[in-house]
Structure 1
Amino acid sequence: MSTTVKSFNHNVPWESLFGYSQAMQVGETIYISGQVAHDAEGNFVGEGDFDAQMEATFENLDKVLAHFDASRRQVVETTLLVVGLREHFNAAAAAHARYFGDHRPTSTASGVVELALPAQLVEIGAVVRLDIGS
C-alpha cells in the first residue's frame, strides 16, 4: 500500500534556489514549511514592521491551507521563529491568538539571530491533520 504525496508552492524564487516545497501532504498530514511575509509576486513585505510581517505570513499560511482544503482548526502545531523574540513576543503571541481564535494548536516560539531574508523578522511553520474536524 502506497501513500499519496502532494506538494504546494507559492512559485517564489527561493523555492527552487533552496530546493524545497512550501508544503507536503503525506496521507492525512500536511507539513508546512516556514511561511514568510511576501506578496503573490514574491516581493518581501513589511520591512521593519513586525505586525505587518505577522499578518502577511499568516495570509500566506492561509493560502497553503486553502490549497489543501484545510482550515485553521486542523492545524495541530505551529513553530514560530522570531528575530528579537523578547522585543516581539507580545505582538507575536497576540497575532497567533487572533489568528486561531479559540482553537489552540501546540506551538513553539524560538528566538533567532537572523532568518533567510535580510529584513525578515518572523517565519511560521505548521503541521495540519486533515482527519480532524474543520
Structure 2
Amino acid sequence: MTKEIIHTADAPAAIGAYSQAVKAGNTVYLSGQIPLDPATMTVVEGGFAAETHQVFKNLKAVCEAAGGSLDQIVKLNAYLTDLSNFATFNEIMGQYFSQPYPARAAVGVASLPKGVQVEAEAVLFLG
C-alpha cells in the first residue's frame, strides 16, 4: 500500500513538519486543524464559536481535497482549552455533521498552538 499526501489551498498550510492529511488505501488521516483563515494564516476573531466554525470549515476543505466529505469521517478527536465550551462545541458540530455521527473524543488541554481554544483531527473513510 502506498500513501498519498493530501493538500489544499482551501485549508491552512501546515505550520510544522506534517501534512494536512495522508491517504492510505481507503482511509484518510486528517491532521489537527486549528482556526486559521487559510487565506491569511491568522486566527479568526470572534471567540470560541467562531474558532470552532473555522476548524470545521478547514476539516471540510481537507476532506473534499481527499475526495470525501465530513459525513465520511468515522473518528473525530477534539481538543479544547476550556471544557466549559463543550456544549457549544457539540452544538456547532451538529451543524456540520448528520447522523450517524462519527465516534469522538473531546479532551481538555492546557494550551494549543497560536493560543487558540480548539483543535480537531479526524479519520475519514472513503469506502
- The alignment's TM-score, normalised by the length of structure 1, stands at 0.85
Match of 1:115 among 109, 112, 115: 112
Cα distance in 1 for partners of 2:12, 2:38 equals 9
Q: Which residue of 1 aligns with 2:13?
A: 12
Tell me the distance in 1 between the aligned counterparts of 2:12 and 2:91. Answer: 30
| Other-structure match for 1:44 | 43
Structure 1 range deviating more: 92-101 or 25-34: 92-101
Deviation at 1:50, TM superposition (A): 0.3
The alpha-carbon deviation at position 95 of structure 1 amounts to 1.1
Count, aligned residues = 123
- Any conservation in 2 of the 1:37–1:46 contact (CA below 8 Å)? no
Answer with 120-129 or 91-100: which moved more.
91-100
Cα distance per residue 1:42-67 (max 9 Å; x no partner): 121136x0000010110000110110
| 1:94 paired residue among 83, 91, 99 | 91
Partners of 1:67 and 1:111 lie apart in 2 by 29
Instruction: Give every structure 1 segment of 4 or more consecutive aligned residues whose post-TM-superposition deviation is greater than 6 Å.
Output: none
Give the counterpart letter for 1:65 in structure 2.
Answer: C
Confirm or deny: 8 A CA contact 2:81 2:108 kept in the other structure: yes
What is the Cα deviation at residue 13 of structure 1? 5.9
Residue type at the aligned position of 2:79: L
1:11 Cα offset (Å): 5.9
Pick one of 22, 25, 29 that aligns with 1:24: 22
CA distance in 2, matches of 1:13, 1:32: 12
Determine if the alignment matches structure 1 residue 125 to structure 2 residue 121: yes
Find the aligned partners of 2:98 and 2:126 in 1 and give their Cα distance: 19
Mind listing any 5+ residue stretches in structure 2 that lack a counterpart? none
Structure 1 vs Structure 2 CA RMSD: 1.5
Deviation at 1:101, TM superposition (A): 2.1
Does the residue aligned with 1:117 lie in a helix, a strand or coil? helix
Query: Larger Rg: 1 or 2?
Result: 1
Alpha-carbon distance in structure 2 between the residues aligned to 1:72 and 1:13: 20
Structure 1 letter corresponding to 2:13:
V
Instruction: Report the Cα distance in structure 1 between the residues aligned to 2:105 and 2:71, rounded to whole angstroms.
Output: 17
Distance in 1 (alpha carbons) for counterparts of 2:12 and 2:97: 26
